[in-house]
């Protein structure tokens, strides 16, 4: 209550100090014209982006969270229809591959390809070899290798990419049969670019207008099967107009 009584400039200064030293919270700061401007505006006291191997082993666990289940449902159903190739966009070191195999009966001939930045992908390859997962799990740094996959899956990654999903799909000679998005940052009114503190780094971050996101997928030739909100997970950009309105969402779209 007391902090709310302080003049706005003091509250902004206090929040900025918290943002700069943050190590454990999911914090956001500022509003920018585009993704590149957000990247350029990131503080220089930490790394910008998560393109380092150290981050790969520290940020995530293999636990299945409650907000994973809608995506898991739509990801698992194609296996019953003979689909075998999952392209996991921004999948870190194979976090969801390891987590979901505890509850999904993976077919023996499953191919799960994770696309991430070079340092993370290299760490993922090493871990897969250690865990005898290399027969099913492989890694790339090139999202164009999603061409011809059965399912393109992106969990919490689209907002960190400079390319929108429509731009990614536009360069694929053969589009995925299904797209499953989860924990994607969206806004009910407009697209907002900001900076996200992930503890070890500052990342440019796109919160996309939700109807614009659906429209991109429809324009790429997809039909919506389902959409949902990832409740309880929160996202707020303080001191920015409309910064209290973003939320996390997911969807399943099939190629029409």
Neighbours of 217 (CB within 10 A): 18
d(CA 148, CA 209): 28
Residue pLDDT, tens place only, 139-161: 999 999 999 999 999 999 999 99
Percent of the chain at pLDDT > 90 equals 82
Mean pLDDT calculated for residue range 179-184: 98
Minimum mean pLDDT range among 42-51, 88-97, 239-248: 42-51
**pLDDT the model gives residue 52:** 52
Confidence of residue 3 (pLDDT cuts 50, 70, 90): low
For the chain, count helices (H), then strands (E): 9, 11
- pLDDT band for position 57 (50/70/90)? low
Asked if the model's pLDDT at residue 236 lies above 90, the reply is yes
Q: What confidence category does residue 228 fall into, taking pLDDT thresholds of 50, 70 and 90?
A: very high
**Band of pLDDT at residue 53, cut at 50, 70 and 90:** very low
Q: What percent of the chain has pLDDT over 70?
A: 94
- Is the pLDDT reported for residue 88 higher than 60? yes
Tell me the mean pLDDT in the region 210-217: 98
**186 close to 233: Cβ distance less than 8 angstroms:** no
Answer whether 29's CB lies under 8 Å from 237's CB.
Answer: yes
Q: For the residues 213-223, what does the mean pLDDT come to?
A: 98
| Residue 132 contacts residue 69 (beta carbons within 8 Å) | no
In sequence order, the β-bridge partners of residue 195 are 29, 204
Enumerate the domain spans of the chain: 24-255
Q: What is the pLDDT of residues 11-37, one digit of tens each?
A: 999 999 999 999 889 999 999 999 999
The radius of gyration of the chain from alpha carbons, rounded to an integer in Å, stands at 19
Residue range 99-114: average pLDDT?
Answer: 96
Residue with tokens 């994973």: 68
Please answer whether residues 88 and 114 qualify as being in contact, where contact means their C-beta atoms are separated by less than 8 angstroms: yes
pLDDT band (50, 70, 90) for residue 80? confident
Phi-psi region of 88 (alpha: psi -120 to 50; beta: other; left: phi over 0): beta
Residue 59 has pLDDT above 80, yes or no: no
pTM: 0.93
Q: What is the pLDDT of residue 107?
A: 96
Sign, CA torsion 35/22/63/98: positive
HSE-CB of 238 using CA atoms within 13 angstroms: 15
Residues 6+ apart with CB under 8 A from 19: 27, 29, 197
CB 94 within 8 A of CB 133: yes
Question: Is the domain 24-255 a CATH 3.40.50.150 member?
Answer: yes
Model confidence at 181, pLDDT cuts 50, 70, 90, reads very high
Contact 89, 115 (CB under 8 A): yes
For the cut 60, the answer to whether the pLDDT of residue 50 exceeds it is yes
pLDDT recorded at residue 58: 54
pLDDT at 44 over 60: yes
Q: When comparing pLDDT for 175 and 60, which is higher?
A: 175
């Amino acid at each position: 209550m007391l902090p709310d009584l302080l003049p706005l400039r003091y509250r902004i200064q206090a929040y900025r100090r918290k943002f700069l030293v943050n190590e454990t919270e999911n914090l956001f700061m500022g509003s920018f014209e585009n993704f590149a401007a957000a990247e350029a505006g990131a503080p220089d006291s930490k790394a910008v982006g998560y393109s380092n191997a150290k981050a790969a082993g520290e940020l995530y666990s293999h636990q299945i969270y409650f907000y994973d289940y809608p995506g898991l449902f739509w990801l698992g159903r194609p296996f019953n229809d003979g689909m075998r190739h999952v392209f996991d966009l921004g999948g870190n070191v194979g976090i969801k591959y390891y987590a979901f195999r505890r509850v999904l009966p993976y077919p023996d001939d499953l191919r799960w390809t994770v696309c991430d930045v070079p340092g993370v992908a290299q760490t993922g390859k090493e871990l897969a070899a250690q865990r005898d997962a290399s027969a099913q799990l492989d890694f790339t740094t090139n999202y164009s290798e999603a061409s011809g996959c059965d399912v393109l899956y992106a969990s919490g990654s689209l907002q960190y990419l400079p390319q929108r999903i429509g731009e990614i799909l536009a360069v694929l000679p053969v589009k995925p049969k299904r797209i499953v998005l989860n924990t994607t940052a969206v806004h009910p009114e407009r697209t907002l670019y900001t900076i996200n503190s992930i503890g070890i780094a500052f990342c440019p971050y796109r919160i996309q207008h939700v109807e614009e996101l659906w429209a991109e997928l429809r324009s790429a030739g997809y039909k919506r099967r389902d959409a949902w909100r990832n409740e309880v997970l929160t996202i707020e950009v303080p001191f920015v107009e409309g910064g209290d309105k973003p939320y996390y969402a997911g969807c399943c779209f099939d190629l029409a």
